[in-house]
Structure 1
Amino acid sequence: MSELSAQLHNGIAKGSFVVLGRAGMDLYADPIGVKAEFGENFRADLGGSSANICAGLCKLGMQAALVTSLSDDTVGRFIRNKLIQYGVDVEYIRTLAGEYRSSLAVYESVMEDFQVCIYRNNAVDFQVTPEDVADIDYGCFGALVTAGTVFAAEPSRSATFAAFDLAKKAGVPIIFDIDYRPYSWPSPDVAADVLTRAADASAMIVGNDEEFGFMAGAYERGLDAARGLAARGKLVIYKMGAEGAITMTGDQELRTGTYPATPLKPVGAGDSFMAATLAALANGASLADAVDQGAAAAAITVSHPGCAGAMPDRATLSQFIEIHQ
């Protein structure tokens, strides 16, 4: 397996990440196994892909600052408090008054007929502007991380591409989690075009087989599309669910498997995988070991209720890997 590009390697090694994207509030039925529609008790925690990645990074000893907007209401304040509780830097989070709302997800800890209902009416995280990202000192961070949802609407889309340009000028590599959510986009054609542009601009791209297939125009072309990106010098992690992942650099590929798990719900794995993989690379792990740690973190997260709260700290992750070695 060839090494990471020098810029990506040195950036991740700093262990300090600026993360763009949404933060939300999760409500999940308690106890385990109760469907949300029959729930009488619910637990609340931090949610949203980018916020989860930040929380996962901080729990593993990294530094992470989130760039987003929150609503000026009790949900927005709950989210901010939770971010601070997890150790996330909230300096670049703007609170907006009016009718914009932070997202709210309601789900349950069940696998059979799992349901999640996400309220994203007038989503406030789409209101991040180019002016907001211009205020960031990118030189303070080792890498910029974003999940694909930020590109689904304006002005967040333009703001994120502006942040890409500013990060590149500062010599900061870009790490892109495709995270395609069809309900957020005006059309599949727009999504495919914009997500492809984002991948082209990134040094590291992480996504599952369906997401790469979507960008390529057909599922069966997804792997070739991923290999094409890797051939251009990018680090690509092509996830295949229970079949593991293929990590690609240049013309070399590494196949890794998954850890045993008894999943309680199918959400949170991708965010935990990203956080743990980056944290492992920052701590000097090889690509193989880093992806292995990402897989272990994903298995832990799906085996516990919630998302951010279910992500492991360093001791939990090390113990899990040792037990399942």
Structure 2
Amino acid sequence: MSDRPRVVSFGECMLELSRQADGSARLAFGGDTLNTALYMARLGADVAYATALGPDPWSDELRAAWSAEGIDLDLALTDPDRVPGLYAIRTDDAGERTFTYWRETSAARNFFALRDSARAAEAMKRADLFYLSGITLSLFDDAGRATIHAIARAVRARGGKVAFDPNYRPRNWPSHSAAREAVAAFLPLVDWALPTFEDEQALMGDATPADTDARWRAAGASLVIVKQGPDGALASDGGPARLVETAPIQPVDTTGAGDSFNAACLHALMSGADLVAAVEAGHRLARQVIQHRGAIIPVDRMPR
């Protein structure tokens, strides 16, 4: 790999509507794979975000914001007939959040139908790290997911890594079985697995984090990090799995916690850190993120 590996994160960014303490609404942006790409860029990675936006002013604002963060926009395609999706966040007293989505006709869902998508797919195959999530898979039909599989196989054939967070969200799928089948089909193409135990429990029926670790390792993942929120993360890279704890903290808003963890962890791994150091880097950034409202914290609040 080069001194500064090329990262491609693939998925959807939407406009984000959240309620503020004074009762007003704040419009921002977010999306699991975009959040991870943005935080990786802040940490110094060479990151391109693959997605589709529209020709509208909101899309222009997204492009400008991403560019200002240092994200490469070459793979952010334009759908002339669609606009970004929208989601609203409600946060309870414990900092846990619920989401409402308006995304059925978003531009990102039409990515592989766009004229420039073949060029983008070829560029994605040249990534040193190809990152996506179960939400990415949920955007597309079987043909679209087959193209994603082909991209992942090409990345691995060149010696790159495929990193995947299942990030199961039931509302994104037509059925539980559809989600389970799509994720299970992608398992053998994953090098670095970043599941959250609560999601795996709901999607795959895992009884313990150790079950999640064992299932991913059996599927061929060389590195597995099972995120467990305040209980730390169970991590393995060929040897016995070990629990890497995190310092307790009272969250303000858990939006973006897993995405930011993934960013710092992946950046550390791509920079040569060992497994425990990478997980600890993930914990540090996630702890900072959950002390603020919204998925993206101010630049000056990034850990030093």
Measured against the shorter chain, the TM-score band is 0.7 to 0.9
Candidates 106, 114, 121, aligned match of 2:88? 106
Shift of 1:121: 2.6
Runs of at least 4 residues of structure 1 off by over 6 A? Answer: none
Shift of 1:286: 1.8
Q: Measure the CA separation in 2 of the matches of 1:222 and 1:244.
A: 11
Equivalent residue for 2:111?
128
| 2:39/2:263 contact within 8 Å kept | yes
Amino acid at match of 2:16: D
Amino acid at match of 2:60: R
Shift of 1:259: 2.5
Amino acid at match of 1:241: G
Equivalent residue for 2:71?
88
Amino acid at match of 2:86: L
Shift of 1:311: 7.1
Equivalent residue for 2:9?
19
Larger CA deviation: 105-114 vs 173-182: 105-114
Say whether 1:229 aligns with 2:216. yes
Alpha-carbon spacing, 1:187–1:109, altered in 2? closer, same or farther (3 Å): closer
Partner SS, residue 28 of structure 1: strand
Alpha-carbon spacing, 1:111–1:162, altered in 2? closer, same or farther (3 Å): farther
Equivalent residue for 1:147?
133
Shift of 1:308: 2.2
Amino acid at match of 2:88: V
The total of aligned residue pairs comes to 296
Q: Could you say what the CA RMSD is over the residues aligned between the two structures, in angstroms?
A: 2.4
Amino acid at match of 1:107: I
Amino acid at match of 1:47: G
TM-score by length of 2: 0.88
| 1:133/1:163 contact within 8 Å kept | no
Q: Measure the CA separation in 2 of the matches of 1:296 and 1:256.
A: 12
Write out per-residue CA displacement over residues 147-189 of structure 1, whole angstroms, 9 at most, x where no aligned residue. Answer: 1112113254233222212222332211111111111111111
Equivalent residue for 1:284?
272
Q: Measure the CA separation in 2 of the matches of 1:273 and 1:149.
A: 17
Candidates 209, 228, 231, aligned match of 1:243? 231
Q: Measure the CA separation in 2 of the matches of 1:230 and 1:19.
A: 23
Shift of 1:233: 5.2
Say whether 1:257 aligns with 2:245. yes
| 1:179/1:211 contact within 8 Å kept | yes
Candidates 70, 74, 81, aligned match of 2:53? 70
Amino acid at match of 2:303: L
TM-score by length of 1: 0.83
| 2:212/2:226 contact within 8 Å kept | no
Partner SS, residue 48 of structure 2: strand
Alpha-carbon spacing, 1:310–1:116, altered in 2? closer, same or farther (3 Å): farther
Equivalent residue for 1:79?
62
Partner SS, residue 317 of structure 1: coil
* Higher RCO (CA-CA < 8 Å; seq separation 6+): 1
Quick one: percent identity of the two aligned structures? 23
Say whether 1:220 aligns with 2:210. no
Say whether 1:206 aligns with 2:206. no
